[in-house]
Amino acid sequence: MGRTLKRISNVIGPVEHLPSKVAAHITREIADGRLNPGDKLPSENELASHLGISRNVVREAVAQLRADGVVYARQGRGTFVMAPEERLAIRLDPETLKDGSSLQSLFELRNTLETEAAGLAAERCTPGDLEEIKTAVERMSGVERWEDGSIEADLVFHRTIAKATGNPYIHTFVSFICDQIRRSIHLARYTNPLHELVEINVAEHVVIYEAIAAGDPEAARSAMQNHIFLAGQRIGITANTPSKG
């Protein structure tokens, strides 16, 4: 094969949940350009031989990729890589977040999406949305602030702002990346002094909440952009520059 897949035993580690690991590996091969849109996947026998696994595992992995919209089958012709713009589903492999460039891409996406969401929320949020955002901030700074409950409240904060835009697509996309955001929060907690981190993080969220509560879209955008910039800096990412002024 022109684009040879690496032997799976050298790439994905232990065998538990092997079909999912194989699917994630093939997805990374596509993301890295070793398999391109329109390329035909090797046959089940070829994949099984090259990756050192059984055909049944290959079959399950390919079925998962089809369900995720990463590949598609043509009757009698084989399975082909789907172009990103044609996919009907979105899938992010958590393993890619171990790569700094992927983390940077995540923060660039957050800067684009959540900054505008904060501005729209300042214009459109309901009293119920505002109360939910406030409750999330209070929970982040309360008795759970040193525990995982605070992280969940942090995610509720961001999801509620997205919901407060009144735009279901923004809400869907922010909710979709929340698992990746959670991982970045855990990384920040692991690499920074926890007491200092929690206090700073809560203060940044308070500024965002106050701007939204004041109905000030520009201040809300600026506060969210600043928070995402600083959150990235805390884990070594500089994907955006906060607004001046």
Residue 152 placed within a domain? yes
Q: DSSP of the chain, one letter per residue?
A: --SPPPPGGGTS-S-TTHHHHHHHHHHHHHHTTSS-TTPBPPPHHHHHHHHT--HHHHHHHHHHHHHTTSEEEETTTEEEEPPGGG-SS----GGGGGSHHHHHHHHHHHHHHHHHHHHHHHHH--HHHHHHHHHHHHHHTSTTTTSHHHHHHHHHHHHHHHHHTT-HHHHHHHHHTHHHHHHHHHHHHHHS-HHHHHHHHHHHHHHHHHHHHTT-HHHHHHHHHHHHHHHHHTTT-----PPP-
Residues 145 and 210 in one domain: yes
- Report yes or no on whether pTM surpasses 0.85: no
**Which residue, of 64, 86, 108, is where some domain finishes?**
86
Residue 182 placed within a domain? yes
Give the domain range for residue 103.
94-233
What is the predicted pLDDT for the residue at 111?
A: 95
What is the predicted pLDDT for the residue at 75?
A: 86
What is the predicted pLDDT for the residue at 29?
A: 85
**CATH number of the domain encompassing residue 76:** 1.10.10.10
Residue 162 placed within a domain? yes
Residues 100 and 38 in one domain: no
What is the predicted pLDDT for the residue at 100?
A: 59
What is the predicted pLDDT for the residue at 5?
A: 52
What is the predicted pLDDT for the residue at 149?
A: 77
Residues 75 and 190 in one domain: no
| pLDDT by 10s per residue, the chain, length 245 | 434 454 444 444 444 468 888 888 888 888 778 888 899 999 999 999 988 899 999 999 899 888 878 899 998 899 999 887 676 666 665 555 555 567 888 899 999 999 999 999 999 999 999 999 999 999 998 877 777 778 999 999 999 999 999 999 999 899 888 888 988 998 899 899 988 899 999 999 999 999 999 999 999 999 999 999 999 999 998 766 665 54
Residues 186 and 69 in one domain: no
Residue 199 placed within a domain? yes
Residues 33 and 73 in one domain: yes
What is the predicted pLDDT for the residue at 66?
A: 87
What is the predicted pLDDT for the residue at 78?
A: 92
